[in-house]
A and B are shown apart, each in its own frame.
Chain A
Amino acid sequence: MAAATAPPDTEESRCVLDREGIDALVRELRADGHTVVGPTVRDSAVVLDELAGAEELPWGWGVELEAGHYRIVRRTDGAGFAHSAGPQSWKNFLHPERVRQWTADRAPDGTMTVRKEPPSPVSFAFLGVRPCDLSAVRIQDRVMTGGRHRDDAYRERRTGAFLIVVECTEPGATCFCVSMDTGPAAHPGYDLALTEVVDEAGHRFLARAGTPEGAELLRRLPHRPADEATSGAARRSVEDAAGRMGRTMPPASLRELMAGSLDAARWDDVAARCLTCGNCTMACPTCFCTTTEDVTDLTGDHAERWRRWESCYDLDFSHLPGGSVRASPRSRYRQWLTHKLGTWWDQFGSSGCVGCGRCIVWCPVGIDITEEAHALHQEGLRRQDGREDGAR
């Protein structure tokens, strides 16, 4: 986990890696005992999976994104990190979809033994964390470990995780990290940050360390000092990316917008389109909700409690005696959006949205969180105008 005291990011602490440097990076991380997870092409998508070597990175692949639409496309520049909004996020590794909590056994004399699940010894290195996703990890840190009820399984996985951010130089049409202030440049919290540069001077990476561990690893990789041309090209690529966001959020406090929109007509409009299939919550890098699952064997002498991902789109999620509290699709979509953009602030002190665009891309019917926020904003303005007209 990134320490609070990062080495100063000066021109001297920066260096340049080429493709061999990335090969060595994966090799060294594996030699250090890390399970290296990064992007790779599988099933017509850039997915996150364990990497045996840097050759498995999606070199020469990009993505074409739209609401409800994702296609991988060939790139001629050989870039390895020119993609965004893949089907998974780092949550799949830090907050897995199903985790055993405890097991219980009943002896023949009737005595019960309950054992807490021991921590998993995994030590991840995440290669290719986008700045928006780094923000998502830090949001989940607060949710899972920031309060009174800490999640030991999450903390265990997170504490040992080494984070390598790759700044975003190729935002997708569904990206809006600039609106959420999470990218495309890396914010603190990483162990290493890379910026991919592909130009006439070659394919290379501007690298800098965010922690002493990152600096130590960087020294072990074949590298050369940062030159002005590479630093400048990296800076310009990230600045350009900031100007090429495919989506924006409305210019308003989203927290206040959500609080003031609880009875908006727009909820009926979006509910008519929403499949309530739950895809947005599962693809979201910050959605964290779970339910418990009790398993018994045929004898009834052995029982296990598991925790699995759950979603506010599931009727069972708010099922109480008497039925589901949020029975209508309208109430469930509203719950998701107002929590994500609004009440998350009250609960965790930040937005729950990082602008990665996954909920837009992976919604089968292409419901767009930014479009819904803009519509709610417009409806609010119209209502305000109406009130002012009425007052006159």
Chain B
Amino acid sequence: MTETAGTGRAFVFGDDIDTDLLAPGHLMKLSAEDLAQHCLEAIAPDFAKSVQPGDFVVAGKNFGLGSSREQAAISLRLLGVGAVIAPSFARIFYRNALNLGLPALFCEEAYRIAEGDQLMVDPVLGKITNKTRGETLSCKPIPDHLMAMVRAGGLIAHLKSRRGT
């Protein structure tokens, strides 16, 4: 395992989790912190309250479809989600997630993970260890140089740290 590995619980969702579920349009005027408290509430009312820093969101295909709104990824990151693990992602969400410091991991076998499973996830090695089930799944690795940006908190934070501002 590399230094980017993290451990946490799995919160499991289905296919086609859209940006209106992640960041409801009618609440977009709220501050990012307040908006995050409503993340996924339409399908999981207790999610924002129960997710802990380092926990993982595991989902079905086409995660993040819909709007280009970055608040979808920002909300997950503000709630401390360590990574989103899914077989496929909507294109704009995927770019947004990495740009905002949220690892998004392509994993064909994400369906093997159940609610509450304890996971250890290493984005650089592309390895997901399910401690609850005693099995290891592979995901598409995120190259080290891209993870440096993700770890810094996203593209802008990365640029600022490199400029020393």
Q: Are chains A and B native binding partners rather than an unrelated pairing?
A: no
